[in-house]
Structure 1
Amino acid sequence: MTDTMPHVETVTVGVWFGVGSRHEPLAANGVAHVVEHMLFKGTPTRDAFAISAEIENVGGHLNAYTSREQTTYYAKVLKEDLGLAMGILADMVQHPLFDEGELEKERQVIIQEIGQAEDTPDDIVYDHFLATAFPGQRLGRPVLGTADIVGSLPRTALMDYVHGRYVPANMVVAAAGNVTHEQVVELAARLFTDLPTGEAIQAEQALYQGGEFREERDLEQVHLLLGFQGLSNTDPDLYATLMLSTLLGGGMSSRLFQEVREKRGLVYSIHSFNWSMADTGVFAIYAGTGPESTGELVPVVCEEVRRLARSLTQDEVSRARAQLKASQLMGLESTTNRAEQLGSQMLSHGRYIPPAETVARLDAVDLDAIAACADRIFASKPTLTALGPLEGLESYDDVAGRLVA
């Protein structure tokens, strides 16, 4: 997949795999993320220093990430260095050494990363939220894994994961910038010749359940997530959901920001988000507040959620549409954003969705569609997750009762 931008001097190129922590064996939670780290640690022709130095010698940079549904390796370089970048990516993906010494060091690095996440309540609260929304399921397990599992993952677990999942059927090569499609096709055909064969891996079906998780911590703030079952990334109502999230808690003019922060001063940070996956999704509101404000905050948030579908205005809908359209179009100025859209959309939809199509779909969403979407989402069983001093937080049943119209 390519997106040619002849007016720029750079190119972002990457390899997108449609596998992540949802596709791990249960006993190897965290292996996808460990593999991502280890691909930077050397091949038969490049050690870890050479991998980074070759890119940085030409002023480029190399990065990667692991999510629950995909793993991505990408580089941004000047246009004349496309071949170098693709050569390094192809070498990393196809010929990782998984050296035992490097693996032992990287296990300790990732265990430190897990500890850092645990010490960051506004980060780890999201892991607890998904574990509560999807209990006992791969989707609810943390991307980083656990210290116990990561600390004992054998080299064979990494090799099995790569050989079974880093296959062409799960893979997209995408580039955006000053590049032609023919360049990328020729380089990919020449460089990606040692991939293992295999079929696309299917994730287990997710089953949203909802519920509650609370953890008392000695913190200055209470970190809250209140969420519901959302929509998959192929649901016809997805664009209505994006607009719903934007007008509820997507900016400084949103209902939650205005009512909770500006009018009442109950929080520093509050926002809503919609996270869509292949077969399900979550719609949630995050807030961080002082323990003395928790008792007032939660009822106010619930009231805003409860009354939203009945009180939408055309001005709000127009503003949310403009925000989303502007965000989409502004993202086109970045080669990395455009490459990310190519890779992710090809994995999710089997095709690239042109910006004009996205804008047209947003234009087609009206007030009634958003109201119907709100009724659909907020009718699901809520998921409540909270970390911090929780004396002021009322019971789950009381919170759920406040959401009933």
Structure 2
Amino acid sequence: MTALRWMALALGLALVAARAEAVEVKEVTTPLGIKAWLVEDSNAPVVALSFSFASGSADDPENQKGLTSLTASLLTDGAGSLDAQAFKQRQEDASVALSFGASLEYVGGSLRLLSAHRDEAFELLRLAVTEPRFDPDRVEQRRAQMIVGLSQADQRPAAVAQRTMMATAFAGHPYGANVSGVRENLQTLTVQQIKDRAASVLTRNGLIVAAVGDIDAAELSRQLDRAFGGLPAGTGRPELPDWTPPIKSRTVNIERPVPQSSVLIALPAIPRDDPDWHAAVVLAHILGGGQQSRLFREVREKRGLAYSVSSALRSQRKASLFVVATGSASEKVADSLRIIKAELVRIREGVTEQELADARTYLSGSLALLLDSSSSVANLLHTLQVDRQPRDYLDRRAALIGAVKAEDVRRVARRILREETMTTVVVGKPAGATATAEP
């Protein structure tokens, strides 16, 4: 483990140790109007930054799928006068870790640095976002890597199940891009298209920043204006279309010659700002949130039908899904699905007070245990901003979870867990299943 990672871990553990106390999240506004959330902590000389630009792969034009992901992957492959190798060496010399990636709705980045190297770290960030090179040889290398990665994912049932679920649940919507189309588009993307996409994405409008560590508000303000101040203001992302949830159940079976099948069940859920959101979080935990959950007990522990089983909420700006995931020996898939669907029906009738109390305790106390580094804390603060939550949300979360009643869980279960809206994807070779063409 590098010195930087040890320092980051030490800072994260210090923050966890202080979790009983309220964490002060400051809002910093720079002279150029860039806003950021900041948690100051000088216990270790480390700073972690998590940030994003408000446009992602769902915004790719129809004949340019993969463009945003390819563009993001190239942002640290040389900038300004530094080619890819020189840029990488500068990061290593200063113990700086800078990375970018694209999701459906954002191009995100992370920066980790020793506070003694702040100037060098933020200068590298400035170069990456304002002067990326997009050298043709690096474009070709990244393009090839992405195509190989997509082809390798074709051999992993879980990855095929995930992409098929998205393509099926979001058919006709930008969230459901077809992977084969991405591969074809990647072959034809030009350097100019990549440069144009970078210019449209990398703007100050919609920029979200979270910082944690050994830096005060004045210094963070100076460094943010230095790194991002040269970007154009921008006009904001185009609004994605609304999603129309499915109104009938669908099952997609994709044959793969593997002993273990991957299964996903997706149901339209509720948006992040819905008053029932925390009841839905409790529901997901009681149903499939760990070894005490109903699904784990009924599917794995009692009957040995699956290697893993879980349920979780997945939220995007235009849609939210409640997803049950399991991996089962192919000959046991039918029985696993039967038990899972029976549990989805049964939980609609309600949960016990003991289940509710256990879920409240776990969800209220477990979050701090996940924040084991400065980077994880910064990522959480960034996610809260993306989700448009208030700065004091971490102080209020336990009370919000604690206020959930059994009737709230029953109500949200009846809202979400409806068989007529269910999308089921099975990838493998389950007994009795007929292969279905992939979307």
Whether the aligned pair in 2 keeps the contact of 1:13 and 1:85 (CA below 8 Å) is no
Equivalent positions of 1:114-153 (< 5 A) are 114-141=150-177, 146-153=182-189
- Shift in alpha-carbon separation, 1:56–1:337, aligned structure 2, 3 A: same
Equivalent positions of 1:306-385 (< 5 A) are 306-349=345-388, 351-379=390-418, 381-385=421-425
Give the aligned partner of residue 403 of structure 1.
none
Give the aligned partner of residue 44 of structure 2.
8
Q: Report the secondary structure of 2:421's partner residue.
A: coil
1:85 to 117, 121, 128: 121
Q: CA deviation at 1:142?
A: 5.9
1:205 to 230, 242, 252: 242
Q: Structure 1, residues 332-376: CA drift from partner, whole Å, max 9, x if none?
A: 442112211222322331753531122221111111111111100
Moved more, 121-130 or 158-167: 158-167
Q: Report the secondary structure of 2:358's partner residue.
A: helix
Matched, 1:245 2:284: yes
Equivalent positions of 1:165-314 (< 5 A) are 165-201=201-237, 202-209=239-246, 211-314=250-353
- Shift in alpha-carbon separation, 1:332–1:105, aligned structure 2, 3 A: closer
Whether the aligned pair in 1 keeps the contact of 2:350 and 2:406 (CA below 8 Å) is no
- Shift in alpha-carbon separation, 1:152–1:206, aligned structure 2, 3 A: same
Mapped to 2, the partners of 1:333 and 1:298 lie a distance apart of 36
Mapped to 2, the partners of 1:44 and 1:135 lie a distance apart of 41
Q: CA deviation at 1:193?
A: 2.9
Whether the aligned pair in 2 keeps the contact of 1:232 and 1:238 (CA below 8 Å) is yes
Give the aligned partner of residue 103 of structure 2.
67
**What letter corresponds to residue 319 of structure 1 in structure 2?**
D
Whether the aligned pair in 2 keeps the contact of 1:234 and 1:278 (CA below 8 Å) is no
2:199 to 163, 168, 173: 163
Whether the aligned pair in 2 keeps the contact of 1:30 and 1:142 (CA below 8 Å) is no
Whether the aligned pair in 1 keeps the contact of 2:348 and 2:413 (CA below 8 Å) is yes
Residues paired across the two proteins, number: 396
Mapped to 2, the partners of 1:383 and 1:23 lie a distance apart of 24
Mapped to 2, the partners of 1:378 and 1:255 lie a distance apart of 15
Q: TM-score, normalised by structure 1?
A: 0.92
Mapped to 1, the partners of 2:221 and 2:242 lie a distance apart of 34
Q: CA deviation at 1:33?
A: 0.8
Whether the aligned pair in 1 keeps the contact of 2:250 and 2:422 (CA below 8 Å) is yes
Whether the aligned pair in 2 keeps the contact of 1:21 and 1:141 (CA below 8 Å) is no
1:35 to 66, 71, 78: 71
Runs of 4+ aligned structure 1 residues displaced above 4 Å come to 142-145, 393-396
- Shift in alpha-carbon separation, 1:314–1:386, aligned structure 2, 3 A: same
Whether the aligned pair in 1 keeps the contact of 2:50 and 2:375 (CA below 8 Å) is no
Mapped to 2, the partners of 1:350 and 1:98 lie a distance apart of 36
Give the aligned partner of residue 81 of structure 2.
45
- Shift in alpha-carbon separation, 1:166–1:353, aligned structure 2, 3 A: farther
Mapped to 2, the partners of 1:214 and 1:128 lie a distance apart of 10
**What letter corresponds to residue 366 of structure 2 in structure 1?**
S
Mapped to 2, the partners of 1:205 and 1:160 lie a distance apart of 26
Q: Report the secondary structure of 2:341's partner residue.
A: helix
Whether the aligned pair in 2 keeps the contact of 1:345 and 1:353 (CA below 8 Å) is no
- Shift in alpha-carbon separation, 1:314–1:350, aligned structure 2, 3 A: closer
Q: Report the secondary structure of 1:349's partner residue.
A: coil
Q: Report the secondary structure of 1:168's partner residue.
A: coil
RMSD in angstroms over aligned alpha carbons?
2.1
Q: Report the secondary structure of 1:146's partner residue.
A: helix
Give the aligned partner of residue 146 of structure 2.
110
Mapped to 2, the partners of 1:81 and 1:325 lie a distance apart of 37
Q: Structure 1, residues 67-108: CA drift from partner, whole Å, max 9, x if none?
A: 112221112122222332222122111111111221112110
Whether the aligned pair in 2 keeps the contact of 1:17 and 1:171 (CA below 8 Å) is yes
Q: TM-score, normalised by structure 2?
A: 0.85
- Shift in alpha-carbon separation, 1:97–1:363, aligned structure 2, 3 A: same
Q: Which runs of 5+ in 2 are unaligned?
A: 1-35
Moved more, 114-123 or 344-353: 344-353
Q: Report the secondary structure of 2:55's partner residue.
A: coil
- Shift in alpha-carbon separation, 1:68–1:76, aligned structure 2, 3 A: same
Moved more, 261-270 or 16-25: 16-25
Q: Structure 1, residues 247-266: CA drift from partner, whole Å, max 9, x if none?
A: 11111111111111111001
1:391 to 431, 434, 438: 431
Give the aligned partner of residue 400 of structure 1.
none
Q: Structure 1, residues 165-222: CA drift from partner, whole Å, max 9, x if none?
A: 2211121232111211211111112232321332111222222226332211111111
Mapped to 2, the partners of 1:119 and 1:31 lie a distance apart of 23
**What letter corresponds to residue 100 of structure 2 in structure 1?**
A
